[in-house]
Amino acid sequence: MTFKQTPNIQRYSNGDVIVSEGIVSNNAYIIMEGKVNVTKKVDKKSILINSLGKGEVFGEMGLISKSVRSATVVAVGNVTIGVIEKEQFESIVKQLPEDIRAIVNALVERLRY
């Protein structure tokens, strides 16, 4: 199974919150259709820090460690998202050739800190 073939597909409408800042999660997300805005709370105000579209990934640090989300992600119009859980990611990594798996594991360890 590849990241884009994840069976967990979710659909959102304009303004729906996909990920909330401060929530603990171990999922990553790929935008299959549509656009999202990434916002961060600064002095009780939501500041737009990025806009992402089809093919882009967010929440990837959740695959490495069960971490607190650093931003809120909101649907802009209709959005289709593929969700991959940490266990799925680890299963995909185990199927990689040994040398590639070693590189991925080294990158994961460096990103963890």
pLDDT digits (tens, 9 = 90+) for 57-92: 998 877 777 678 889 999 999 999 999 887 887 787
Q: What percent of the chain has pLDDT over 70?
A: 88
Q: Which pLDDT score, from 0 to 100, does residue 89 have?
A: 78
Q: Which pLDDT score, from 0 to 100, does residue 63 have?
A: 77
DSSP alpha helix (H) spans, the chain: 61-64, 86-94, 98-112
Q: Would you state the structure tokens that stand for residue 11, as one six-digit string?
A: 């659909």
Collapsing DSSP states into helix, strand and coil, what is residue 6? Answer: coil
Report pTM: 0.78
- Regarding the domain delimited by 3-112, which CATH topology (the fold level of the hierarchy) does it fall under? Jelly Rolls (2.60.120)
Q: Which pLDDT score, from 0 to 100, does residue 17 have?
A: 98
Mean pLDDT of the chain: 86
